[in-house]
Amino acid sequence: MEAASLCTMATCVLNQWSMDFAGNKRRILSSIIEAKRLGASYRLGPELEISGYGCSDHFYEGDTFLHSWQVLRDLLIDPATRDIVCDVGMPVRHLGVAYNCRVVFLNGQVLLIRPKTRMADDGNYRESRWFSRWTKRGEIDKTFQLPDLIESAIGQSTAPFGDAVLAFRDASLGFETCEEIWTIGSSHIDLFLNGVDIVVNSSGSYHQLRKLNRRVDLISSCTNKAGGLYLYSNLRGCDGERVYYDGSALVAMNGRLVAQSRQFALEEVEVTSATVDLEEIRNYRQANRSHCQQSAEAPALTRIAVPQWRLCRQDVAAACQSTNLPMEPRYHTPEEEIALGPACWLWDYLRRSGQSGYFLPLSGGIDSTATSCLVYSMSVQVFESVQSGCQEVLQDLRRIVRDPQFLPGSPQDICSRLFTTCYMGSENSSSETRQRAEQLAKEIGASHLALRIDAAVSALVAIFVACTGLQPKFRAHGGSAQENLALQNVQARVRMVLAYLFAQLVLLARGLTGNLLVLGSANLDEGLRGYMTKYDCSSADVNPIGGISKSDLRSFIRYSMRRHGISILGEIFSAPPTAELEPLAANGQLAQTDEVDMGMTYDELSAYGRLRKLDKCGPVAMFLRLRRLWPQHSAKVVADKVKHFFRSYSINRHKVTVLTPSYHAEAYNIDDNRFDHRQFLYNVNWPWQFQQIDQLVDQMAGCEPVLTTDKMELGHPESSNRAGGTGAGNSGSTYTTTGTVDKIQTNDTTGSKKSVLSSSVGYQGCVRLLAQIGRQRATWRGGIASTPIPPVESAAAKILASGNLAAARRRPQQQQQQLQGRIGKRTSPLAVKANNDSGRCRHRNQSNRAASKVQQLGNVEQAPIVARLTLSPRGCRVVQQQQQHQEPDEPTGHRRFPAPRMRLAIP
C-alpha cells in the first residue's frame, strides 16, 4: 500500500430548513470545517442543501434562485472552504429551465454544475413539478454564464454545466443525485465501467419504516458488481413538511459498508469520514475479467481535468494511516424507528414553531397513549443529547421553556415543562380509562388535567332542542341510529374546542407565557376507514401517529414497556379499543368497541390499505387478491368485506381532505395533500365494480370448495401460492386447508382438480372424501401406528353425493365405532409425536411397540390434528403430523379440543 493511494472522503448529514438560507449556510460551513478537521480532501453535502429540499412551489419564485446564488457566493469566498473540494446542492436556472443541481468548487472556483438526470415523482416526491431533468447524458455546456454576483466575487464568468466526470490528478469522481441510484439505468453503471474510482450521491430521502435496508442494499450491491467507492449523503430532520429525513450517510467500497452515520439524532450537523485505499478498487476490478471486458467496450464519458488537486494524501504520515474496515450495517427495529423518527420530527417542529410545548387530550386508550409515549421518547432524546454535551439542543430547550438557567435532571423534568395532557371525561367514560390516563401522565412526568365535558355537551344539545323541539336520544335509550351518531359526534367536537382553549391559556393560568401545540392521535387505519368525527380531536396542529398503522402502534407500545419501564402500558395494551361515546352498560362495563363499530378488524384494515395503495387494487382486484389471501373465508364473505370497506372508505373520504398534518411513516399513507391523490366525492354504491364482484362470486359458487352440514360443493378452485401450503409430492397435489368440525375450506396451491371433505375428522372425514371422489379404500395412519379402514359403503357414497350429510352421517356410524374399538385395543389412547419413515405398521406387535413411544392424549375422534390426506391410485390415507396437548377441563374421557387444521394432497 502506497501513501499516494490513500484518500479520506467526508459525507455529511445536515438538518436543513426550507427557505432558511441563513441557517442553512451556517450548517454547511460548520460541516465543511468539520470535514477539514477530519483530514478529508472532499466534502459531500445533501440534495438542495442551500435552499432546503422541501421548498415546493417556492421553486417557482426567482427569489429562491437568487438567494441560493447569494449563499454560494458567501461560501466561495469564505476562508473555511479553502483546500477542500466542496460539493453543495442548490437550484439553478439554465437557458430558462430550472434544474436540481450540484455545484462543485475548489479554492473559490466552480469546477462543475451537475444537474440531476432522473426526477423523483413517486410517493411524496413531485420534482418534475418544479425541475426538468438533464437529458444529455455525458454532455456539458461549457458556456454557462455565472451570475454577476458570482463573477464579481471570484472573477469567474463561465462554468461547465452538465453531466461529466471530474478527473483529479490521482483519481476520478462521478456523480449521482438521489433518485438516480434507484432507477434501472443508474448513472453509476456507466461511471464504474469508465474507470471512475469514486461515485458520490447527494440525496434527500425521507424516512419510511424499513426503508434504510433498501438503501444499504442498493449502495452495497452497485459497488459489489463493479468495484469502486460510493459516498451517500442525506438530509436529516423536519424541514417544514410532513416527512422526516433520516440521515444515515453511508460509505461503501467493493460491496462492503465501511462507514455509516446515525439514522436518528437531534444534532444538526454530523460528518462521517472514511479513509480508503483506492488501489484496492483497482485490484478488485482487475480480478473481474468480465468487468474488464465490458469496461474496454464502454463508450467514453466527458471528463473535466483538475490537474491542480489530488484527492489522495502525499505526506509520509499518510502511509501509517489506518483505513476503514468493513462493517455490518446498523438497523433499527420497526418499533425503534417509530420511537425515534416521530420523536425527532416532533422536536424539530416544536423548536422551529416558536411554541412552548404540546397539549394532548389523553383518553387512556392506545392511540393517545402512543402519542404520549412519542412525546416522552422526544424528551428522552433531548435529555440524552444534553447529557452528551450538545449545546445547541440545550439552548433550544431553554428557549422553548423560556428559562435560560433550566438544566433537566431527567426526561420527566423535560416532559413536565413541554407536555400537558388532559382527560376529558363524560358520563359515558369509564373509571378505568380515567385512572389509566392519570397514571400514564404521572409515570412520564406530564402536567395532567382532568375535567368533564357533560355540561358543555348538554348546553349544545339544549340549544338544538329549544330550536327544533326534538330531543335526541342514544340508541340504548330508544333513539335512532342517526340520533345516536349525532350525540356521539357532539361529544367529540366539544373535546376539540376545549383542547384549543386550554392550549392557548393553560400556561397563562400557571403564570407562564406562550402557547401549546395541540396534538392529534388518530392512527392511519382509522383515517383510511374514516372512523373518526370530522373536526374532533383528530383535528389538531400535528399528528405524530397519523401515518402509523394500529398493528405497528401496538408493537411500539410493547417496545415502550420494555425500553422505558412504563408499567401502566401493559394494562392499556390489554384494554379493548373504544371511543366511549355511547352510554355504559347497566353493570358499568363498555357497550362500545372500535372494531365492532367499524365492522372490521384493524388487521383487515391494514390489509385493505396496503392493497389499495401499494398494490393499486380497486374493488374487483382487491376481492380477487383477498380471496386467495383469506382461504378461511368463502367468496361471499370476502365480497361482503370488500364491499363494506369500499363503502365506508368512499363515504368518509371527505374527512381525509382536512386531516391534521401527520408524520409520514408508512408506504400506504392516506395523506390527501401530497401522497394519496384521489377524489373525495364517490358513488358509494360502486355499482359497476360491485356488480363485477357479484358475478365473480356466482362463478365461484359452482367451483368453490366450501362445504357445510347441509350442502356439498365440488369443483376446480383458483390456483394460489400462499405460505403454508406444500408442493406436490410423489403421491399427488397438495392443498392447504383450515376448517372446523362443520366446515372445511381449502386452497389449491397447484391448480389441480380437487374434491373436498366436510364436517368432522378421522374416519368420517375420510369416508366423505372418498365418497366424493369414488375411491373405495383408505388407511388411517397416525405417525407410527396405522390401522386399515374398511371400504366405504356405496349407499353412503350415494347419499353424500346428493348433499345430504345428515343422512350420510348415520350410515358409517357402526363401522366407525368398530374402527375406534380396534384402534383403542391396539394403541389406545392414540396420540403420536414420533415419526416413522415407513409410515405403516402392518402387524399387531409393531403397533404395540409403537404405542409405547407415544404420549397419551385422547381417542382419535377427539384429538386435535394437523393431517395430510393423500389420494393415490391405491386409495386415500390420512397422515397425522402433529397433535397438540390440552389439559382437560372435565373428567378424563370428556376432553375438549380446538378445531382441526388439515392439509389435503390429491393427485
Q: What are the residues whose beta carbons fall under 8 Å from the beta carbon of 238, sequence distance 6 or more?
A: 244, 344, 345, 348, 349, 352
> What are 749's three cell numbers?
396451491
Cα–Cα distance, 430 to 869 (Å, whole number): 52
- Residues forming the active site: 47, 116, 178, 363
Spatial contact of 648 and 598, defined as CB atoms under 8 Å apart: yes
Half-sphere exposure of 883 (CA within 13 A, CB side): 22
Q: Cell 444538526, residue?
A: 268
Sort strands 744-748 and 140-145 into parallel, antiparallel or unpaired. unpaired
Spatial contact of 335 and 373, defined as CB atoms under 8 Å apart: no
Q: What is the DSSP string of 565-583?
A: --TTHHHHHHSPP----SP
Cα–Cα distance, 480 to 148 (Å, whole number): 74
Cα–Cα distance, 228 to 279 (Å, whole number): 10
**Residue 546 buriedness (CB in 10 A; 0-12 / 13-18 / 19+):** buried
Angle in degrees, CA 630, 635, 640, rounded to 5: 95
Cα–Cα distance, 389 to 392 (Å, whole number): 9
Cα–Cα distance, 491 to 474 (Å, whole number): 12
Helix or strand run (H / E) with residue 103: strand 97-106
Residue 503, SS3? helix
Residue type, 28: I
Cα–Cα distance, 137 to 183 (Å, whole number): 15
Sort strands 165-168 and 303-306 into parallel, antiparallel or unpaired. parallel
Half-sphere exposure of 124 (CA within 13 A, CB side): 25
Spatial contact of 180 and 157, defined as CB atoms under 8 Å apart: no
Q: What is the DSSP string of 296-308?
A: HHSPPPPEEEETT
590 φ, ψ to 5°? Answer: -65, 140
How many distinct helices (H) and strands (E) make up the chain?
A: 27, 27
Q: What is the DSSP string of 391-410?
A: HHHHHHHHHHHT-TT---SS
Cα–Cα distance, 905 to 750 (Å, whole number): 10
**Residue 142 buriedness (CB in 10 A; 0-12 / 13-18 / 19+):** exposed
Positive or negative, the Cα torsion across 652, 657, 662, 664? positive
Cα–Cα distance, 593 to 207 (Å, whole number): 33
